[in-house]
A and B are shown apart, each in its own frame.
Chain A
Amino acid sequence: MNLSRLQTRNEHRVVLRAEGVWKSYDDGAIAVLKGVDFEAFEGQTIALCGPSGCGKSTLLHLFGGLDAPDCGQVSVNGVEVNRHCNLLRLLRHEVGFVFQLHNLIPDLTLEENCLIPTMAAGMDRRTAQARLHQLAESTGLTHRLGQRIQKLSGGERQRTALCRALMNRPKILLADEPTGSLDEQTSGSVFALLLEIVATEGVTLVMATHDRSLAARCDRQLEMHDGRIDEI
C-alpha cells in the first residue's frame, strides 16, 4: 500500500461510512454482517477481500442503497442511506455499480447501454453524448459505440459496464468482482483501466475481489471475516 498517498487521502473527507452494520438473511438464521464499521475517504481505492459468502456483495449493496441493514447505519457523503433518504438520487448521482457479470442489456448497443443512466437522471442529450465520448475514449471503446453487446468481447463488455457506471459522474464506484469473469490478462488490463479512470475522475472505489494481486494495487485492502472487517 502506498502509505504517503493514504495519509494524503486521510486528510480528505469521508464519503462512505458504515457504523455497527448488521445484516442477516432467512429471518436472522444466516448472519452475514456482524457490526461492520467502515470509512472510505474521497478518491481512495479500497479492496474488500474474503471468501465467498462472507458478505462483500451484501456490504456493497448496503452502500448503494439496494438493501437496508438490520441494524446500524450507512451514510454516503454524510447522508444516511435508509428508506427515507432519496435513494433515486443516490443511485443516479452518488454511486455507480459494476458487477462481475457485466449486466448490460444485450439487445441494445454499447452507446445505448451507457446512456441509460443519463436518461434515468434526466441529463440532456448533448451533455450525455459528450460524457459518453469522453468515457469511450478513456476506455478505448470509441470505435465500438454502435456495436450491440453480443458482438463485444468480455473485456469490452466490462469496460462498457464501467463507462455506464461512471456516466452520471458518481462520487463512489462500487465494484463487485469486476474482473471475476475475465481471463488473467484481460482482467489485469481492465483493472488497470479501472484504477486509471477512478484516479482521473477522482472517484472513490470500493471493490470486492478474490484476487489478492489486484487488491494489492488498491490504496487499502480490507479482509472480511466472520461478518467483520479487518484492515490488512
Chain B
Amino acid sequence: MGGFALFHLPTIGQLRRSATPGQFALALAIFIFLILFLVIPVGTVIYVAFTERGTGSFTLVNFQDFFSNDLFMRSLWNSIWVSAMTVVWASVIALPLAYLTTRFEFRGAVLIQTLGFLPLVMPPFVGAVALQMLFGRNGTFNLLLDDTFGFKIPFMEGLSGVVFVQALHYFPFILVNLSTSLRNIDRSMEEAAQNLGCSGFRLFRRVVFPLAMPGFVAGASLVFVKVFDDLATPLLLNVKEMLAPQAYLRVTSIGIADPMGYVISVMLIVGSVLVVWLSAQALKGKDYATVQRGGGGLSKRKLKPLEGLMAYSVVVFLLALVLMPHFGLLLMSFATVWSFSPLPDAFTLSHYGRVFDDSWVYVKNTLIYASMAAGIDVVIGTAIAYLMLRTKLIGRHWLDWLATAALAIPGVVIGIGYLRTFYDISLPGGAPLASFWMIIVLALAIRRLPYALRACVAALQQVSVSLEEAAENMGATKARTVRRIVVPLMAGGILAGFVTSFSTAAVELSATLMLVQANADAPLAYGIYVFMQSAAGRGAGAALGVVAVVFVGLCAFITHLIVERSQRSKGFES
C-alpha cells in the first residue's frame, strides 16, 4: 500500500504518550482484525482499480475514465440525490414514532418499537416481489385505483420510487438510534427548561431534539450511507443508473475483466467515509453527555384523550404503511396463484408444509451466524467508540473510518475477497478455511460492524466522562471502570446496535451466497433464494420469508423488552 507513506507516521514515543499500554494493545488488536478480515480480502479484489490494462502497472487513468463517462456521472448524482431525499423522508416517518413512544405514556410502546423496526428485516427477493404485488404498476393499489378512478400512481417508478421504498426500508435506523438517544436524555435538562417557561414544540425543538442529536445523526448518516451503497432496492425497481447497481452489475458479469466495477467500489467507499466524517464534524465541539442516569430519560406525560386519538392515528397510519411489504409477504405465503389481481385467487397452507422440513436447519444456522456476528460487532463497536471518544490515541479515527468503509463494499466483493484470501489456507483435515462456516460469521460481522459501531458511538457520546473520572478517583482501574460504569451506561445503545446488526445479518445474502459451501451451513436468506428461482417455489419462498421475519421480530421484541426492563430497574417508574 503506497498510500500510507503519504500520511505522517507518529513516532513510538508519541504513540506511547497518547494512550495506556492496555488501550494501545486493544487498538492494535482491532486494527489487525480489520486488516485481516477487511483490508486484505477487499484489497485482493479492488487493487485492479489502480492498474493499467495490459501492463498491470499503477495508474489513475481509470478514475479519469470514471469522471468522463456520462453514465457513471449521472449515476453518481442520482445516488447522492436519492440518499439525501431518503434521509428526509425516513426522518418524517421515524421522528413521530420515536417521539411519541418515548415522550408520552403510550400503551404498547415496546410493540410499536418492535414493529417499527421490522422493515429492516426484508428478506431478499420475496420482499421485492411482495412490494411489487402491492405497490407495483399492476399491484393491488394501482389495480383498485384504476378500476375505481381510472388512474394509477407510480409508487415504484424511477428515482422517486427508490426514495419511497428506501425510506420505508431504512427509517428504522433513525428510529432505533433516535429512540435510544431520547431515552438517555437527562430529565433534569427538560425540567430546567420547563422551569424557565419552555414547553410544547419549542421545548422539543430547542432542548429535547438537540440533546438527541447524536442518535439522530448516527441514524441519518447510516441511512445516507446505506442508501448510497444499497443495490438491492434499485435493482428491484430496475433502476440501474445509480452507483451501487453499476458496480454490482459490472463486478458480477463474466468475461469482463475491466477495472471500472472496482473503481466504482472505491468511489462508494470514499463517499461513505466522507459522510461519516462530515457527521462527526457536525457533532464536534458540542457536549451531549449528561451526568445523571437514574432518570431513565424524559419524563413521560399522559396524553389527553384528543391528543391520544391523534397520536394513535399517526402511529397506526405510519405502521400500516411501513408494514405493507410484510403484509404482502404474508398474503403471498398463503396464496395459490396471485397474478394481475388485487388479491390472490385462493389461499392454502401447503407452502408452509413444504418449507417445514428445511426451515429448521436454516433458522438454526441463521441464529448462530447472526448472533455471533452481532456479538463480535458490539464488542468491537464498543471498543472503537471508547478508543475514539475517551483516548487521545493517534490514528484512532482510522479505526472508525476503516470499519465504516465496510458498509460501502459490495457484498459480492467481500465474498470473492474471502475466497481468494482464505481458500488456500487449509484446515486440519484438508478442507479449505474458506469452506468453514465461521468464515460466513466473520464476513457478516465485517459487513454489519458499521451499524453497531454508530450505535455504540452515539451511546458513549451521551455518557458524561465525569462519571468515569469519579470511579477512577475512587480507585477503580480503567478496565474496571469500563466494565462497571461505561458499558452499563451504554447498554441501551449497545443493545440497539446488536439488534440492528443481528437482524440485518439474518437476511443478508450477497456475501453469504458466495461463501456457503454446503447446504447444512446455509442460512435463511439462502434458503429463500433457492426457492425463489421458480414459479412453484414463490409461495414456499414467501413462507420461509415469513418465518425469517417472525423469527427476527421475536428476537427484536425480546431485546426491546430487556431494554425497557433495564430502564425500569435503574429506578425509573413511568
Same complex: no
Listed in ascending order, the chain A residues whose CB lies under 8 Å from chain B are none
